[in-house]
Amino acid sequence: MNILNVENVSKSYMSKPVLSGVSVGINDTDKIGVVGTNGTGKSTLLSIVAGVTTPDSGQVITSNGLRISYLPQNPVFDTDKTLLENIADKIYAGGDHWDKMGEIKANLSKFGIDDPECSVEILSGGQKKRAALVAAIMTPSDLLILDEPTNHLDSDMIEWLEVFLQHFRGALLMITHDRYFLDEVTNQILEIDKGNVYRYESNYSGFLELKQQRLDYEQAAERKAATLFRKDLAWMLRGARARSTKQKAHIQRFEELRDRQRPEEERQVQLSSLPTRMGNKTIILDGITKSYEGKTLFKNFSYTFNKLDRIGIIGPNGCGKSTLMKCIIGLVNPDEGNVEIGQTIKIGYFGQENEALDESKRVIDYIKDTAEFIRTEEGLVSASVMCDRFLFNPEMQYAPISKLSGGEKRRLYLLRVLMEQPNVIILDEPTNDLDIQTLRILEDYLDGFAGIIITVSHDRYFLDRVVTRIFAFEEGGSLYQSEGGYSDYLVHKKETVGASAADNSSNTKGGAGSVNKASDDSTDEKASKNSWKTPREKTKLSFKEQREYDNIEAEIEALEEKSAELEAQIAEAATDYPKLVALSKEKEEVDAEIERKMDRFVELQELVDSFSGDK
């Protein structure tokens, strides 16, 4: 049953169209994931559907009595009230429901907030987001709207939220960068691209395939149109005269092809920089220990980083992951032990709270403060060009940072880190607020990065894609080490727990402060089978293809003439019904043959063009 319709909605910011005539319907069982690059209007669309933002034009029509619960990207709290009072007000709209306070406290504790009576002013951005999420999921609703709900959640919380949303009896409209989460929760994907909306009846994995089919179809249609345009252009240049109906139609087709709207190439972030040379001495952690308020985060931890280490650090919120990273870069001193940094080591730190952003500065000035130029494989590239590669056009470069969306600020912060040309990249929750497209490109960049990568992340897909070793925080300040990505860690951990339950003699696991190793014995073996004979590369049309190519244009023209003759006969036979039916059927067959011949002509022309390009 349809519960909400977005009808022809448009919205602009800073004279930049974000949404252009968007129309979307939502049914009561839809679980919709919204994807698209940062700044394309995802959060704006959710805010409009939730009734928080008013569109410039268009309208949102809801069914009678529709209840909507909304988690914004940046939740706002009343600083004059405690956290518990804020949550109760959001859930019950100011009504007295003190009998539910126990349930609120339990859910806040589940999401890592143990003091519900605290002032909201002492909460971090992540704690505020988790508290607002509790309010959103506890609010009775028919439509649940969530903007980046997995940000600042650890893996256990994400898995709990997955199960909750899978069993939620209502519609869901959600933005998230977590691709595993999208796969498990959604049954539809809504893509926003250049102000337009494309809908796919699938989860994220199916969306990737369906989107590629859409792009392939658009490109194939464009190649066909381009080939026909070249042919028609040559015909026009031979001196076409509009002396007949056929030639007039031919000229009209030429003009339509000439003025067609070509599919725009999808702009992507371009990550390109050369890391600073790294010497033999990297980063050495020698027996470091750190405690806060009587709680040991890590104890007597030692590790020497290899030159191409890809380390993922995981654990529940508050266990000490970010503190460990800050010890490495020198922002926090360990209580015991030493951190030694090699002289050639240059660290780029991508924090989770955009600590380095001065929102009063212009985008270009913020980047130039780090470097006017950066050395890439192509040579020196200016700060302005790098901004453009990160999808900040000249107009955006001279705008203050405060005007950017949350995702655009994260992208800008990432650019600044790369402009420093580090040989060690430390990423603290890099997937927060970055769009999926940028994440995929970042992952490709990290694949070829000639240095050390250390990342804290709860994004399971990102960990599986990027890291080759997991450090997992455990009780008492110990760190469990597992070779492989996050999925491998889960397997190793399960095997370890099973082995411990069956036999306590396993002495390969160290105590507090040690690094426990789990080998990945289940590595897939990939075998490639070479054919006994390698086929020769095709360099020209076969004799049959060449003859077909030489004659096909004449055949198309003859068929077009026949179609025009049939059209004239149909006009004359308007009162002779049996003859009209026969002529119409014959014309349909001729037109279908013209279409088939045109498709074949495009195929042959592409072969000819490819051979010409090889020479």
Strand 16-27 and strand 171-175: pairing?
unpaired
Burial 46-71 (b: 16+ CB within 10 A, else e): bbbbbeeeebeebebebeeeeebbbb
pLDDT at 551 (0 to 100): 82
- Nearest-angstrom CA–CA distance, 169 and 367: 47
- Nearest-angstrom CA–CA distance, 113 and 41: 31
- Nearest-angstrom CA–CA distance, 582 and 592: 16
Tens-place pLDDT, residues 73-113: 889 999 999 999 889 888 876 555 556 788 888 889 888 88
The C-alpha angle with vertex 58 and arms to 61 and 200, in degrees rounded to 5, equals 75
pLDDT at 534 (0 to 100): 39
Q: What are the DSSP calls for 380-418, one per residue?
A: EEEHHHHHHHTT--HHHHTSBGGGS-HHHHHHHHHHHHH
One-letter-per-residue 3-state SS of 515-531: EECCCCCCCCCCCCCCC
Tens-place pLDDT, residues 201-248: 989 888 888 888 877 776 777 677 677 767 666 666 666 555 555 566
Q: 271 pLDDT exceeds 90? A: no
- CB-based contact 149:176 (threshold 8 Å): yes
Tens-place pLDDT, residues 480-521: 899 999 999 988 888 776 665 555 544 444 433 444 444 444
Task: Give the pTM.
Answer: 0.67
pLDDT at 417 (0 to 100): 87
Average pLDDT along the chain: 81
pLDDT at 454 (0 to 100): 95
Q: Between 408 and 229, whose confidence is greater?
A: 408
pLDDT at 395 (0 to 100): 87
Residue with tokens 């994931």: 33
Q: 541 pLDDT exceeds 80? A: no
- Nearest-angstrom CA–CA distance, 373 and 370: 9
* Distance from the Cα of residue 82 to its chain's centroid: 36
pLDDT at 544 (0 to 100): 75
Helix, strand, coil share (%) of the chain residues, nearest 5 = 45, 20, 35
- Nearest-angstrom CA–CA distance, 123 and 113: 9
- Nearest-angstrom CA–CA distance, 10 and 538: 51
